[in-house]
């Protein structure tokens, strides 16, 4: 079980996995409370499933790029620890399900043998950084953004500021102004630009989906590429300190920017600049491993193929790269699912006849690179054998869907089987739509938009309706979403809620209406804007009427039992925990991290650990007197009022001034050493104060 302790070459990774193993043991003994443990395991890619006692493991694949070795390693892990199904996500990750919590450390260790991590795949961290899957081969790109996405992934992995934020933080890099990575719905989105021969990015700030979608603001029309890293760090520091922490639904940066305004938010970012170690951070694209074309090989003979189906596949799933003489191939995966037999066979084909660079796409498919034109029919033949040559990639015949009620705790109604039904419906009744890239269909199991329904021309999210004393599965219909380009997008609008069983009727009405009234080449988002929401409500109004329902309406797609609205629950520690002791234990860990990083010359890291230790120590004492706070900034202010101004804590004339030295000083060795010493002194003083509290209480 503990062989990874000697097998892994990277001591940081090795220690990380050992720590996870120890924390699992402490949680089971009741030494770590449930909320704290949830934060710890989520930051390590371990997510509680709807089904009790098993975990979903999210495997972090930076900007969706996998080698064949990595894909095969994931297959091995899935076979050993899971059920043999790989699920691709809209954030270009891979998820596996039904994993025992006790086995997660060894699973992680096995993945790290091929340089694959779970770290910060979930939780209140910088999530997987996404990018256009065709970055590097996109004919319209001004430069390849993949090296910049890779650098940002490496820079912020395990970075202290990103470990325990109020909520998750999402970053994307688009290859071109077509904005294939949806910059406008990200916390930070980057679109490549060149100005006076200098590389840089248009920067979009504080977008987001979920129950309330926000379109990102333009932070910079052009920011030089060597400044994107320090700017991102400054934004993260502001979010960490000022972001909401108590009200989870308000804890995203989009709400912070909305409350403060762009000008005030930018001022806070500028105030953080002094504390950042790297004021510029040049990224050398040539230092990153470049994707190479495969060696020229003789292509095996191709048996007779269905030429009509080949043409449909070629027109919808194949494109010419910017590198002349090579093609990219899109692979459509229903629900983002594929299995070990297909995955291993695909890896073998890629190794021989394509670039060793498989990309996961944001609509849950795959993309292959550097396929020679003479090999395309061979690829069609082989992909057909694997069930991976379905035409219609990124069209209405390719529905994006989250796992919904299959495995997710938050799922309200079925999205997986609904997506399958929709795809079959499109293939049967609207086969011409496999060539239509002007319209997308996306579905989420709840309002949180993991299926990105807010980006869809036609979107659905799970819901329910009370009818005749019973609960019926339902879908909220949202229309008019889509990417306009260069940081601008349309977010879908709610139109009507309908019983889930009527989804195909709704689609038939909407598609027929679009076909009859669209102008040539008109995107659905533009069509929706032209017609207006009332037009679509009138079309669908009768489908929302539940005065006459059948027994079938109470069955969700793919189910034979009557629908029951049930939102899963997470694990339970089963033990009452002393929250203040837990927080103090966390402070000690942060102080130890500050000491180690200082010794290793990571000055900014050490300073942030010291800062976090003092904030958590302050929070512990506020907890001891029943004071709840929403933000780190609130913790600092409330501690000052409750303990310093009242003279309960007299070690410093101003604790606030001490803690906020973090953004008043350059990250020098002298300051890092002094700040750590003060943090230790601060914590020791609070431990003594807490002991005094306990004596007085008894």
Q: Mean pLDDT throughout 336-346?
A: 97
Between 201-205, 231-235, 408-412, the lowest mean confidence (pLDDT) is in 408-412
What pLDDT was estimated at residue 568?
Answer: 44
Q: Give the pTM.
A: 0.91
Rg (CA), the chain: 26
What pLDDT was estimated at residue 1?
Answer: 41
Q: Mean pLDDT throughout 445-453?
A: 89
Which contiguous run of DSSP H or E holds residue 525? helix 524-531
* Integer Cα distance of 139 and 141 in angstroms: 6
Q: Mean pLDDT throughout 117-130?
A: 94
Tokens (6 digits) for 219: 């932070």
Q: Is the pLDDT of residue 576 over 60?
A: no
Q: Mean pLDDT throughout 142-156?
A: 97
Q: Is the pLDDT of residue 481 over 70?
A: yes
**118-157 core/surface letters (b: 16 or more CB in 10 A; e: else):** bbbbbbbbbbbbbbbbbbbbbeebebbbbbbbbbbbebbb
What pLDDT was estimated at residue 571?
Answer: 32
Between 32-46, 233-247, 361-375, 419-433, the lowest mean confidence (pLDDT) is in 32-46
Q: Mean pLDDT throughout 32-56?
A: 85
Q: Is the pLDDT of residue 567 over 60?
A: no
Give the start-to-end residue ranges of the domains of the chain: 4-112, 130-287, 309-385, 400-554, 579-697
Give tens-digit pLDDT for 60-106: 999 999 999 999 999 999 999 999 999 999 999 999 999 999 999 99
Q: Read off the pLDDT band of 578 (50, 70, 90).
A: low
* Integer Cα distance of 492 and 452 in angstroms: 10
What pLDDT was estimated at residue 577?
Answer: 39
Task: List strand residue ranges (DSSP E) for 403-492, in order.
Answer: 441-444, 458-467, 470-479, 482-485, 488-490
What pLDDT was estimated at residue 143?
Answer: 97
* Integer Cα distance of 455 and 457 in angstroms: 7
Q: Mean pLDDT throughout 28-51?
A: 85
Task: List strand residue ranges (DSSP E) for 124-208, in order.
Answer: 130-131, 171-173, 188-195, 198-205
What pLDDT was estimated at residue 403?
Answer: 86
Q: Read off the pLDDT band of 573 (50, 70, 90).
A: very low
CATH topology of domain 579-697: 1.20.120
What pLDDT was estimated at residue 570?
Answer: 34
Q: How many CA atoms lie within 13 A of 215 on its CB side?
A: 15
What pLDDT was estimated at residue 566?
Answer: 56
Helices (H) and strands (E) counted in the chain, each on its own, are: 21, 22
Higher pLDDT, 484 or 249: 484
Sheet holding 85-88, edge to edge: 46-48, 55-59, 94-99, 85-88, 337-339
What pLDDT was estimated at residue 437?
Answer: 92
Q: Is 595 exposed, middle or buried (0-12, 13-18, 19+ CB in 10 A)?
A: middle
Q: Read off the pLDDT band of 630 (50, 70, 90).
A: confident
* Integer Cα distance of 398 and 300 in angstroms: 30
Q: Mean pLDDT throughout 105-128?
A: 94
Q: Is the pLDDT of residue 563 over 90?
A: no
Task: List strand residue ranges (DSSP E) for 255-407, in order.
Answer: 318-320, 327-331, 337-339, 358-360, 366-371, 400-401
Same fold, 4-112 and 309-385: yes
Q: Is the pLDDT of residue 38 over 50?
A: yes
**339-362 core/surface letters (b: 16 or more CB in 10 A; e: else):** ebebbbebbebbeebbbbbbbbbb
Mean pLDDT of the chain: 92
Tell me the CATH class for 130-287: alpha beta
By residue count, the chain amounts to 698
**What is the CA angle 637-642-648, rounded to 5?**
130
Task: List strand residue ranges (DSSP E) for 198-317, in order.
Answer: 198-205, 217-224
For domain 400-554, which CATH number applies: 3.40.50.720, 3.30.413.10, 3.20.20.70, 1.50.10.20?
3.30.413.10
Q: Mean pLDDT throughout 511-525?
A: 96
Q: Is the pLDDT of residue 561 over 80?
A: no
CATH topology of domain 4-112: Sulfite Reductase Hemoprotein; domain 2 (3.90.480)
* pLDDT > 90 fraction of the chain, expressed in percent and rounded: 77
- Which CATH superfamily includes the segment(s) 309-385? Sulfite Reductase Hemoprotein;Domain 2 (3.90.480.10)
Q: Mean pLDDT throughout 333-354?
A: 96
Between 48-62, 311-325, 564-578, 627-641, the lowest mean confidence (pLDDT) is in 564-578
* Integer Cα distance of 363 and 442 in angstroms: 9
Task: Give how far the C-alpha of residue 633 lies from the chain's centroid of Cα atoms, to the nearest Å.
Answer: 26
Q: Read off the pLDDT band of 698 (50, 70, 90).
A: low
């Amino acid at each position: 079980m503990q062989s990874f302790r000697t097998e892994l070459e990277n001591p940081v990774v090795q220690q990380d996995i050992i720590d996870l193993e120890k924390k699992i043991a402490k949680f089971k003994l009741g030494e770590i409370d449930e909320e704290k443990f949830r934060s710890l395991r989520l930051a390590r890619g371990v997510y509680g499933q709807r089904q009790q006692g098993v975990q979903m493991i999210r495997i972090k694949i930076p900007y969706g790029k996998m080698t064949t070795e990595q894909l095969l390693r994931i297959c091995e892990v899935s076979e050993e620890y899971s059920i043999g199904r790989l699920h691709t996500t809209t954030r270009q990750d891979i998820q596996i399900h039904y994993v025992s919590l006790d086995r997660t450390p060894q699973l992680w260790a096995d993945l790290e043998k091929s340089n694959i991590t779970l770290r910060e795949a979930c939780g209140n961290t910088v999530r997987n950084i996404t990018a256009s899957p065709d970055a590097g081969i996109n004919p319209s790109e001004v430069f390849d953004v993949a090296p910049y996405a890779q650098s940002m992934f490496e820079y912020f992995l395990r970075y202290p500021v990103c470990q325990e934020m109020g909520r998750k933080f999402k970053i994307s890099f688009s290859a071109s102004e077509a904005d294939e990575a949806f910059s406008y719905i990200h916390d930070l989105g980057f679109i490549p630009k060149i100005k006076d021969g200098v590389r840089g990015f248009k920067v979009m700030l504080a977008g987001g989906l979920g129950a309330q979608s926000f379109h990102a603001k333009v932070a910079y029309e052009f920011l030089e590429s060597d400044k994107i890293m320090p700017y991102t760090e400054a934004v993260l520091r502001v979010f960490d300190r000022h972001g909401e922490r108590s009200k989870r639904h308000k804890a995203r940066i989009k709400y912070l920017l909305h409350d403060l305004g762009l000008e005030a938010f930018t001022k806070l970012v500028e105030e953080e600049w002094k504390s950042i170690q790297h004021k510029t951070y040049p990224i050398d694209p040539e230092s990153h491993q470049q994707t190479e074309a495969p060696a020229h090989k003789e292509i095996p003979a191709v048996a007779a193929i269905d030429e009509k189906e080949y043409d449909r596949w070629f027109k919808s799933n194949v494109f010419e790269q910017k590198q002349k003489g090579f093609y990219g191939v899109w692979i459509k995966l229903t629900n983002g699912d594929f299995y070990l037999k297909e995955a291993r066979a695909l890896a073998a084909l890629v190794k021989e006849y394509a670039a060793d660079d498989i990309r996961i796409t944001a609509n849950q498919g795959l993309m292959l690179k550097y396929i020679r034109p003479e090999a395309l029919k061979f690829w069609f033949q082989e992909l057909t054998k694997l069930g991976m040559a379905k035409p219609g990639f990124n069209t209405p015949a390719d529905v994006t869907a989250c796992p919904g009620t299959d495995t997710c705790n938050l799922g309200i109604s079925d999205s997986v089987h609904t997506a399958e039904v929709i795809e079959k419906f499109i293939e049967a009744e609207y086969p011409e739509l496999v060539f239509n890239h002007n319209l997308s269909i996306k579905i989420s199991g709840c309002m949180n938009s993991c299926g990105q329904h807010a980006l869809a021309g036609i979107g659905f999210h799970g819901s329910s309706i009370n009818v005749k004393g019973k609960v019926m599965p339902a879908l909220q219909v949202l229309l008019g979403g889509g990417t306009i380009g260069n940081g601008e997008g349309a977010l879908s609008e709610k139109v009507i809620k309908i019983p889930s069983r009527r989804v195909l009727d709704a689609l038939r009405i909407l598609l027929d209406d679009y076909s009859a009234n669209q102008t040539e080449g008109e995107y659905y988002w533009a069509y929706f804007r032209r017609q207006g929401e009332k037009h679509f409500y009138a079309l669908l109004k009768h489908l929302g009427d539940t005065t006459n329902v059948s027994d079938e309406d109470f069955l969700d797609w793919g189910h034979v039992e009557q629908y029951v609205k049930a939102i899963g629950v997470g694990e339970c520690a089963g033990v009452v925990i002393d929250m203040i002791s837990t927080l103090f234990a966390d402070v000690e860990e942060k102080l130890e991290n500050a000491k180690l990083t200082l010794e290793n010359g990571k000055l900014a890291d050490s300073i942030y650990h010291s800062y976090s230790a003092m904030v958590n120590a302050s929070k512990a004492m506020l907890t001891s007197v029943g004071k709840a706070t929403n933000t780190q900034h609130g913790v600092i202010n409330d501690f000052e009022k409750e303990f310093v101004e009242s003279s309960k804590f007299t070690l410093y004339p101003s604790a606030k001034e001490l803690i906020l030295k973090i953004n008043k000083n350059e990250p020098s060795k002298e300051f890092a050493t002094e700040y750590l010493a003060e943090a230790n002194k601060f914590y020791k003083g609070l431990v003594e104060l807490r002991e005094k509290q306990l004596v007085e209480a008894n």
